[in-house]
Structures are given as structure tokens and as C-alpha cells.
């Protein structure tokens, strides 16, 4: 299983700690879990929209190909 967590640096809901803990927990149990703080972004992350959405599709492709560390 592969899990990608993205959180905006300026997320007004303060998901940072919870997402980071979850990624660490999943990683410690053998899951490929990646946590990324998107610089300068609020809760609605624009760095993953439009032309930059390819990063999300790269994650889908990684899962399709076996999701390795």
C-alpha cells in the first residue's frame, strides 16, 4: 500500500501534526507513506492543481507499479 499526505504550510485547520504522525505510524508498519508540506499553501492546495496535478498522477502510477520505497 502507498499513501501520500499533502498539507498546506498555512493550513488553517492545522493538519500538520496529525498527518505527520499518521505517515510515521503507517511507515513503521511497512506501508510506503510520504508526508509533504506544501510551502505557502493554505488548506486548499493549489500546488497540486492544474499543470501541477501530475504529482498526484505520479503517485497513482507508483501504486500501479508496486509502490516501492
Q: What is the pLDDT of residues 6-60, one digit of tens each?
A: 999 999 999 999 999 999 999 999 999 999 999 999 999 999 999 889 988 888 8
**CB-hemisphere CA count at 13 Å for 16?**
11
Question: Is 13 a member of any domain?
Answer: yes
User: All 3 cell numbers of residue 62?
Assistant: 507508483
CA-CA distance, 3 to 11, in Å (whole number)?
20
pLDDT tens, position by position, 18-33:
999 999 999 999 999 9
SS3 state at 7: strand
Grid cell, residue 17, equals: 501534526
In a domain, 45, yes or no: yes
Whether 19 is in a domain gets the answer: yes
pTM for this prediction: 0.83
Contact (CB, 8 A) for 37 and 49: no
Residue 30 and residue 1 in contact, taking contact as beta carbons nearer than 8 Å: no
Residues of the domain holding 46: 2-64
Total domains, the chain? 1
Residue 69 included in any domain: no
Amino acid at each position: 500500500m502507498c499513501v501520500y499526505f499533502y498539507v498546506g504550510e498555512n493550513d488553517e485547520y492545522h493538519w500538520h501534526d496529525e498527518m505527520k504522525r499518521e505517515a510515521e505510524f503507517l511507515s513503521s508498519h511497512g506501508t510506503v507513506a510520504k508526508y509533504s508540506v506544501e510551502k505557502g499553501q493554505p488548506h486548499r492546495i493549489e500546488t497540486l492543481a492544474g499543470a501541477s496535478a501530475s504529482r498526484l498522477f505520479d503517485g497513482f502510477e507508483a501504486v500501479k507499479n508496486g509502490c516501492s520505497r
